[in-house]
Amino acid sequence: MHADVDRILFSESEIVAGIDRVAREVTRAYTGRDFTVVSVLKGSCVFASDLIRRIPIPLELAFLAASSYGDGTEAGRLEVNFFPTGNEIEGRNLLLVDDILDTGRTLHALKHELALRGAAEVRTCVFLDKPSRRAVPLQADFRAFEVENLFVVGYGLDFAGRYRNLPYVASLREAIYAAPKPGPV
Ligand code: 5GP
Ligand code: MG
């Protein structure tokens, strides 16, 4: 897997430092208020699990599953596979946590849907932000890193379902994207 990597953009130690900083910002923003971290699966599971362990105030955890990419690197239609239950949403202060804010369509749609379902407040926290790619006007309330306009994998982010377990963020060698889709994993 490591042999498929072209360039490491954020190393493990850089990631730890970035998450420490975001965790402090989130802690400051929510001290004295109840809130629920809503991790957007699958991509944000690694980030969310590291992030919550650095937030030393009470919080609850919920999940939703959404996918906007097929097996390649181009955006497809947003599909929501499941939402938190009604009482995990209604009247709650939600912090939507996602792996990357790209065009913004995913978080824009999810924020809207959670508000419709009765959330008291919906803020957003992303591991990576690609501001140059934005198609809808949306800024994350918290973000760990800004990233250039490049398809990246690792630390939760996949290509064709793989590479989520890389401990750093990297781009892949050109030949990997060009190769035919791997078989079932
Ligand atoms: P948006 O709706 O903001 O365009 O897209 C957000 C989703 O697109 C992310 O949650 C992620 O699944 C996918 N995505 C966007 N850019 C990248 C990237 O560089 N690498 C990977 N692996 N996924 C990406
Ligand atoms: Mg994804």
Q: What is the whole-number distance in angstroms between the Cα of residue 32 and the centre of ligand 2?
A: 32
Phi, psi of 51 (to 5 degrees): -60, -50
The pLDDT of 60-89, averaged and rounded, is: 80
pLDDT at 64 over 80: yes
Q: Which tens digits make up the pLDDT trace of 95-143?
A: 999 999 999 999 999 999 999 999 999 999 999 999 999 999 999 999 9
The pLDDT of 161-165, averaged and rounded, is: 97
The Cα 121–Cα 167 span in angstroms is 32
Q: Which of 44, 47, 69 is the best mutation target for the ligand 1 pocket, counting ligand atoms within 8 Å of the beta carbon and taking the most?
A: 69
Q: What is the CATH number of the domain that holds 41?
A: 3.40.50.2020
pLDDT at 69 over 90: no
Closest CA to 87 of 118, 49, 64, 121: 118
**pLDDT for residue 180:** 72
Q: Is residue 129 part of a domain?
A: yes
CA of 102, nearest ligand number: 1
Q: Is residue 98 part of a domain?
A: yes
CA of 107, nearest ligand number: 1
Q: Is residue 36 part of a domain?
A: yes
Q: What is the whole-number distance in angstroms between the Cα of residue 108 and the centre of ligand 2?
A: 15
Catalytic (active-site) positions? 102
Q: Is residue 185 part of a domain?
A: no
Q: Which atom of ligand 1 is nearest to the CA of 106?
A: 2
Residues with CB under 6 A from ligand 1: 43, 68-69, 75, 98-106, 151-153, 157-159
Q: How many domains does the chain have?
A: 1
**pLDDT for residue 131:** 96
pLDDT at 86 over 70: yes
Q: Is residue 184 part of a domain?
A: no
Q: Is residue 169 part of a domain?
A: yes
Average pLDDT over the chain reads 93
3-state secondary structure the chain: CHHHEEEEEECHHHHHHHHHHHHHHHHHHHCCCCCEEEEEECCCHHHHHHHHCCCCCCCEEEEEEEEEECCCCCEEEEEEEECCCHHHHCCCEEEEEEEEECCCHHHHHHHHHHHHCCCCEEEEEEEEECHHHCCCCCCCCEEEEECCCCCCEECCECECCECCCCCCEEEECHHHHHCCCCCCC
Binned at pLDDT 50, 70 and 90, residue 82 comes out as confident
The pLDDT of 78-105, averaged and rounded, is: 94
Q: What is the whole-number distance in angstroms between the Cα of residue 10 and the centre of ligand 1?
A: 17
Q: Is residue 183 part of a domain?
A: no
The Cα 92–Cα 114 span in angstroms is 10
Q: Which of 9, 79, 80, 102 is the best mutation target for the ligand 1 pocket, counting ligand atoms within 8 Å of the beta carbon and taking the most?
A: 102
**pLDDT for residue 73:** 61
Taking ligand 2, which is a single-atom ion, which protein residues have CB atoms under 5 Å away? 43
- Parent domain of 59: 2-178
Q: Is residue 64 part of a domain?
A: yes
**pLDDT for residue 181:** 65
More confident residue, 125 or 80: 125
Answering whether pTM is above 0.95, one says no
Q: What is the whole-number distance in angstroms between the Cα of residue 166 and the centre of ligand 1?
A: 16
